[in-house]
Amino acid sequence: MPKRKAAIAVGGVAALGAAALLLPNANASQDQNKASGAGAAKTLKAADASDLSAQLQKLLGDALAGSYYDSGKQQLVVNVVSGDNNVIQQAEKAGAVVRQVENSISELKSAAQALKTKATVPGTAWAVDPRTNKVVVTADSSVTGAKWNRLQSTVQGLGSGMATLKKSSGTFKTFVSGGDAIFSQVQGGNVRCSLGFNVKASDGSPAFLTAGHCGVAAKDWSDSETGQPIATVDQATFPGEGDFSLVKYNDANTQAPSEVNTGNGQTVQITQAADATVGENVFRMGSTTGLHNGQVTGLDATVNFQSETDPNGVDTVTGLIQTNVCAEAGDSGGSLFTQDGGAVGLTSGGSGDCTSGGETFFQPVTAALQATGATLGDGGNGAGDQAGGGDQAGGGDQAGGGDQAGGGDQAGTADPSASAGDEAGAGDQAGGDQIGGAADPSATAGDQSGAGDQSGTGDASGTGDQSGEGTGDGSDSLTGTH
């Protein structure tokens, strides 16, 4: 076969509009007022904060009760449960802001396990939120009657100060439909998803990653709705420990660029696999809704989707990244990435839409690469460094929660390719409320001036916690993205 370039470059469809990149644009001041009382916290990029978190996990061990990235101040905040001043001093010396908390990570994980044992019902999700030092439990609109009573009783049984419960007016589901769109013809109609990232399979052949529920739904995939298949599913995981598929191109000579197509002829080069950090800014590309951005709000999240094959069943997926980024049907499998070209996640499912906002869960790319044996890079040539699946910035210690004050205020998307210097004047991003429309990832500083104020309430420190009123902050359903 003649050598061809894959028509489905990573990412998908044009971005919605053109607006400025709104990211922190000033050096963070040193924080002298935390509970620890002293220390000169370092100003860090999100990737550096992730590395520091992993180092402190090894250094502090059980004394560490999670960590998160303060994107407004560009600092890493670490929780410690020990009153040992030596532990605090070690963390501060490393450059982190130290906060003393009540709940240890082992206690929080035990609480999450109790929820798994007693309250695994469709329409629920939970994760440990390092910002509130609690397990945050979310129930969608389908959780009513005896199911709601069971969930509420379980949460209350965990003890005061251990967990919070909130209600979403929508329903949890996977987003089946579509970076660039990929299609498959199955009995009963077509399936549409989005391509995540091009990779090299363990045998050296060109391939790509997408959502596992896409790979389970169909085996052969095309780059057009009525075209011939150009790729075949090699591995697929869903439900269970993840939501990812490895799909190999049928033509071994396919050129599979390591980039995300962000629309309007613009691309972002993907140079490495990156672990998510709670609080960092991320960008999502999908074939239905284009480019959108937000913040990571949790890691190692568990989501209980209503089974699509069994009316009385539940599809539980673990180990996901939780965000306040919006998504819709068809965005499943699409790329979650960072401004500097880090491949972070694959779109799994969530709630809401890109009009009213919502929250979306993603499969970590590092875990998918480790499980499939694939490597990231141009046409299989290895474009960059891949952090191992297990080195996820503190792993479960940052299993973030769901309190996302302002998480739905994502009226658009930011520009992931502008440099820090380009962002002066773009706006203060003290939180997760991202107002001002979709951004062009290649926009210059001039394009971005006066883009808008992002001083939203992105720090989900307990906002929206609802102990059973049922009026929740999630205005839309948790949906899966195909």
Q: For 146-188, what is each residue's pLDDT tens digit?
A: 999 999 999 999 998 999 998 876 677 665 332 458 899 887 7
Say how many CA atoms lie within 13 Å of 63 toward its Cβ.
Answer: 17
Q: Which domain holds residue 430?
A: 1-16+105-482
Strand partners, 176: none
pLDDT at 303 over 50: yes
Q: What pLDDT is recorded for position 477?
A: 41
**Residue 36 forms part of a structural domain:** no
pLDDT at 431 over 70: no
pLDDT at 341 over 60: yes
What dihedral angle (degrees, nearest 10) is formed by the CA atoms of 125, 128, 132, 136?
A: 20
pLDDT band for position 220 (cuts 50, 70, 90): very high
**Residue 448 forms part of a structural domain:** yes
**Residue 406 forms part of a structural domain:** yes
Percent of the chain surpassing pLDDT 70: 68
The one catalytic residue in 50, 332, 351, 442 is 332
**Residues 18-39, mean pLDDT to the nearest whole number:** 35
pLDDT at 429 over 50: no
CA distances to 127, 466, 474 from 170, rounded to whole Å, are: 19, 16, 7
Among this protein's residues, is 84 annotated catalytic?
no
- Picking from 71, 100, 129, the residue at the C-terminal end of a domain is 100
Same domain, 84 and 137: no
Highest mean pLDDT among 50-54, 185-189, 437-441: 50-54
Same domain, 9 and 92: no
Same domain, 71 and 176: no
**Residue 214 forms part of a structural domain:** yes
> Minimum mean pLDDT among 170-179, 273-282, 434-443: which range?
434-443
**Residue 39 forms part of a structural domain:** no
| Helix count and strand count (H, E) for the chain | 7, 26
Same domain, 328 and 440: yes
For the beta carbon of residue 388, count every other beta carbon within 10 angstroms: 12
Q: What pLDDT is recorded for position 199?
A: 95
Strands (E), 118-188: 124-129, 134-139, 163-167, 173-174, 181-186
CA distance 193 to 189: 14
pLDDT at 98 over 70: yes
CA distance 173 to 304: 9
CA distance 471 to 439: 32
pLDDT tens string 53-92: 999 988 888 888 999 999 899 999 999 986 678 888 889 9
Among this protein's residues, is 292 annotated catalytic?
no
- Picking from 100, 132, 164, the residue at the C-terminal end of a domain is 100
Say how many CA atoms lie within 13 Å of 237 toward its Cβ.
Answer: 20
Q: Please give the model's pTM, rounded to 2 decimal places.
A: 0.70
> DSSP characters for 272-297?
EE----TT-EEEEEETTTEEEEEEEE
Same domain, 261 and 372: yes
Q: What pLDDT is recorded for position 87?
A: 82
Highest mean pLDDT among 35-39, 346-350, 449-453: 346-350
pLDDT at 269 over 70: yes
Question: 7 versus 283: which is more confidently predicted?
Answer: 283
- Picking from 84, 100, 116, the residue at the C-terminal end of a domain is 100
Question: 107 versus 309: which is more confidently predicted?
Answer: 107
CA distances to 146, 232, 282, 313, 331 from 293, rounded to whole Å, are: 37, 30, 6, 33, 14
Same domain, 264 and 335: yes
Structural domains in the chain (count): 2
The one catalytic residue in 140, 243, 275, 378 is 243
Same domain, 194 and 78: no
| pLDDT, the chain, mean | 75
**Residue 266 forms part of a structural domain:** yes
pLDDT at 25 over 70: no
Instruction: Find the CATH number of the domain harbouring 168.
Output: 2.40.10.120
**Residues 290-296, mean pLDDT to the nearest whole number:** 94
pLDDT tens string 180-211: 588 998 877 788 999 999 999 999 999 999 99
**Residue 65 forms part of a structural domain:** yes
Q: What pLDDT is recorded for position 174?
A: 66
The one catalytic residue in 67, 140, 177, 213 is 213
pLDDT at 213 over 60: yes
pLDDT band for position 451 (cuts 50, 70, 90): very low
Same domain, 79 and 212: no
Same domain, 314 and 345: yes
Among this protein's residues, is 213 annotated catalytic?
yes
pLDDT at 343 over 70: yes
Same domain, 123 and 249: yes
**Residue 112 forms part of a structural domain:** yes
**Residues 263-270, mean pLDDT to the nearest whole number:** 89
CA distance 155 to 142: 18
CA distances to 124, 179, 270, 283, 445 from 417, rounded to whole Å, are: 35, 16, 11, 10, 11
Six-digit token string for 158: 């965990």
- Is residue 363 within 8 A of residue 207, CB to CB? The reply is no
Same domain, 298 and 273: yes
Q: Identify the DSSP state of 56.
A: H
Q: What pLDDT is recorded for position 190?
A: 85
Same domain, 305 and 274: yes
